[in-house]
Structure formats: structure tokens, C-alpha cells
Structure 1
Amino acid sequence: MSISAIITAAGKNSRMRKDQISRNLEIKNKLILPFNDKTVLETTIDNTLLSNIDECIVVLGHYSDEIMEAISNNYDDAVKFIINNPCDVGLSTSLYNGLSNIGSDFALCVTGDQPTVSTETFNKMINIMDKCKNPYKSISILRRRKTGLLTTAEGLGMPFVAPRINLMKYLKNEDDNLNPILRKIFADGYTFYGIKEKNKKELLNINHYDDYLSLVK
């Protein structure tokens, strides 16, 4: 099974900015905050690159210059960076743009603010898709509630593994968050497999400054 990774790193950073302003902190994009001697985004990229993927695409948008300047590792040919144009678009559009730049049959979809999701968990998601009976009508996803065969897509988001072409059909002409789209896919009869996290920190995205502090302790 050929699989590419799409890492979305194109958001407005609005919640983090508000938190930093309220704390009289220097305003920095959350993706370039320090994390394990790297940045948040670099940690996410590195964990993703170590998984069983064939290529990696990072989708930038807002603050793309700031993010690129902060990345100390240029990744040579291991990562391809693309920039949304226009940049003021929703997560679904960023993901669609990333999917448009890969040739694999399947995509591991990750957000840049998920540095705690381990390579081991990414590989569990990939392995499930590799072994399931009908991978083109299936999605493996980091669970938020139950594990195994899921009976609902409520509350779900990234990371997940999905068939590229089929996912693009649902994302095309949408400009939304992922959960409403995942619910549509589930309603159309796709099988969802919930993957158990390695630890509780894997379930936390860095949206607010307190999220960041809880993960760097």
C-alpha cells in the first residue's frame, strides 16, 4: 500500500495569540514554540517521517515565512512544503491542497500541532488500513472515545489514514473543519477503526497556551 503524509500547518494561530497577549508574552506562532529541543512543527514532522510512509507534504498558509524561518532542518528532499493560495482558508481546503500534491493511494493526515502523537501510533493506523478487507471504504483514526470498530464519527479529527481519491471527493468545494466531513463519510457507509493512543498526551492538540504548557512539563 502506497501512503503519503499530509501535515497541515496553515492556521491563523488565533487562540494561541489571544492567550499570549493576555499573559503579556511575546507573540509566536504555536508551531514554532520550543518542544523537545526542536519546534512543535519539527517534532511533528520528525515523528511522521519515521513512520511507514513514502513521502511527506507540509501545507503552510498563515505565517508561512515565520514558520519557514524557524525550521532549522531543511529536510532536504524528505519533505515538500506547499503554501495555500489564498492563505485564508479552512482546514479542509488545506488538506485538499496537500492531497492534490501526492501520488499515493492513501494519506496519513496529521495537524502540525500534534507533536505528541508517536510514530508507533501512526504505524498502528497505517497497519490497520493495510490489513482491512476494504481499505478504499475505510478510515483508521486516533480514537477520542471507543477503540476498534466505531459506531459514530462524532468528535473525531486528525490524525487519520484514508484513501486519497475518495477523501478528496468529500473535501472538494468545502471550507470547513474536519468533523462535519468525517460525519458525512461515516454516514455514507465507510468503516471507521479507532486506534488507541500510546498515552493520554497523544489526544491533546496545542490550541491554547495551557495546552502547550501541559505538554512541555
Structure 2
Amino acid sequence: MTISTIITAAGKNSRMRKDQMARNLDLTNKLILPFKNKTVIETTIDNALSLNIDECIVVLGHYSSEIKEVIFENYKDEVKFIENNPVDVGLSTSLFNGLSNTDSDFALCITADQPTVSSETFNKLIEVSQNSEDPFNTISILRRRKTGLLDTAEGLGMPFVAPRLNLMKYLENEDDNLNPILRKIFADGYTFYGIKEKNKKELLNINHYDDYLNLLD
């Protein structure tokens, strides 16, 4: 069974920009802020490329030219870049657009502002998905509360591994955040497995400037 990684990198960056303005900092997209001798998005991409996957797709939208200027030349041979059109769409649409550009059986879905999620954790997500009794009816997801077999999808988001075509059916014609869609999938009887993080920093997304500073420590 084939697996692609979809990395969404299309957001408005509004909370980070607001924080940067309040601190009189240069307005820089959070995904190209320095992180571990590279940038936030490059670290996320590198973690994905270290896996035994068939394809890596990065979905761009807002600030696509700013992001591509920094990373495109370094990754053009290893990553497929696609751009939302129109740009101003929700996360569900970005993810759908990424999934539409591959024919893999499964997708590891990641947001680009998760540079601290390790390759070990990504591999665990893939392993649990593929070794489940019914992979096409299973979603393995980085836990937010419980681990193992979950009794709710409340509060969950990326990263996760899901069957691609099944996931696309739920994303199509939606323009929303991800959690309401995951709750629909759960209500329809899919099995959700919560995977424990390697460390607490894996549970953090970079939304605010303080998030970024915390992850640098």
C-alpha cells in the first residue's frame, strides 16, 4: 500500500503577524523563521522526507511566493509543490487539494508549523495505521488526551494517517477547520487510535510568537 505525505502550508499567518507587530519585529511568515539551522517549514519537510513514503506534497496558499523564494530550489526535486486557487480557503480545502494531487492509498497529513514532530512519531502513526485490522477504516492520530483506542475525536487535528480516498469524501465541498470533519468521520464508525508523543513539544503548533520561542528552547 502506498503512502504520501501532505504538508499544509497555506495559512494566513495572522496571529504571528499580530504578535510580531506588537513586538516591533520584522513581519516574517512563521514558516520561514529560523529553526534548527534551517527554517520551520524545512525542518518539517526534512522530517517527512526521512520516512519511507512514496511522495511528499506541500500545499501553499497565502504568502506562497515568500515561502517558495526561501525553500523551492532546495526541495524542487524531492517535493511536489501545489498552490491553492483561490488562496483564501480553509484548512480542509488545502488538505483536499493536496490529496487530489496524488494517487496513493494512504496519506500522512501534517501542518508545516509542526517542526518538532519527530520521524519516530510519524513512523509510529504509519505503523499503527498499516498494522490495524482494517486500515481503510482506521485513522491513527497524534493524541491530545488519551492514547490507544479513542472514544471521541474531540480536540484532535494533524498529524494523522488516513485512507486517502475515504478522507477526500469528507473533505470535498467543505471549507472548515479539521476537527469538525474528524468528528463526522468518527461518528460514521471509523476507528481512531491515539499515538503518544515522543515529548511534549510534539503537541505544540507554532501559532503565536511565544510558541515559536518555547520550541526554540
TM over 0.5: yes
* 1:37 aligned partner, one-letter code: N
Alignment match, 2:203? 203
* 2:3 aligned partner, one-letter code: I
* 1:182 aligned partner, one-letter code: L
Aligned equivalents of 1:24 and 1:131: distance in 2?
Answer: 50
Please state if 1:41 is matched with 2:41.
yes
Aligned equivalents of 1:7 and 1:153: distance in 2?
Answer: 21
Alignment match, 2:12? 12
Unaligned residue ranges in structure 2 (runs of 5+): none
Note the C-alpha offset of 1:75: 1.9
* 1:62 aligned partner, one-letter code: H
* 2:125 aligned partner, one-letter code: M
Alignment match, 2:59? 59
Residue pair 1:92, 1:171 contacting (<8 A) in 2 also:
yes
How many residues align structurally?
A: 217
* 1:63 aligned partner, one-letter code: Y
Aligned equivalents of 2:11 and 2:186: distance in 1?
Answer: 26
Can you list the C-alpha shifts for 1:75-112, whole angstroms capped at 9, x where unaligned?
24210000000000000000000000011000000000
Aligned equivalents of 1:167 and 1:144: distance in 2?
Answer: 20
Residue pair 1:109, 1:160 contacting (<8 A) in 2 also:
yes
* 1:158 aligned partner, one-letter code: M
Alignment match, 1:27? 27
Alignment match, 2:113? 113
Q: How has the CA–CA distance of structure 1 residues 62 and 76 changed in structure 2, closer, same or farther, with 3 Å as cutoff? A: closer
Alignment match, 1:143? 143
Aligned residue runs from structure 1 range 121-132, under 5 A:
121-132=121-132
Can you list the C-alpha shifts for 1:110-147, whole angstroms capped at 9, x where unaligned?
00000000000000000011110111111000000000
Aligned equivalents of 1:67 and 1:171: distance in 2?
Answer: 25
Unaligned residue ranges in structure 1 (runs of 5+): none
Taking every aligned residue pair, what percent have the same amino acid on both sides? 79
Q: How has the CA–CA distance of structure 1 residues 44 and 136 changed in structure 2, closer, same or farther, with 3 Å as cutoff? A: same
Note the C-alpha offset of 1:52: 2.1
Note the C-alpha offset of 1:72: 6.6
Alignment match, 1:177? 177
Q: CA RMSD in A?
A: 0.8
Note the C-alpha offset of 1:73: 5.1
Alignment match, 1:3? 3
Can you list the C-alpha shifts for 1:183-215, whole angstroms capped at 9, x where unaligned?
000000000000000000000000000000000
* 1:119 aligned partner, one-letter code: S
**TM-score scaled by length of structure 1:** 0.99
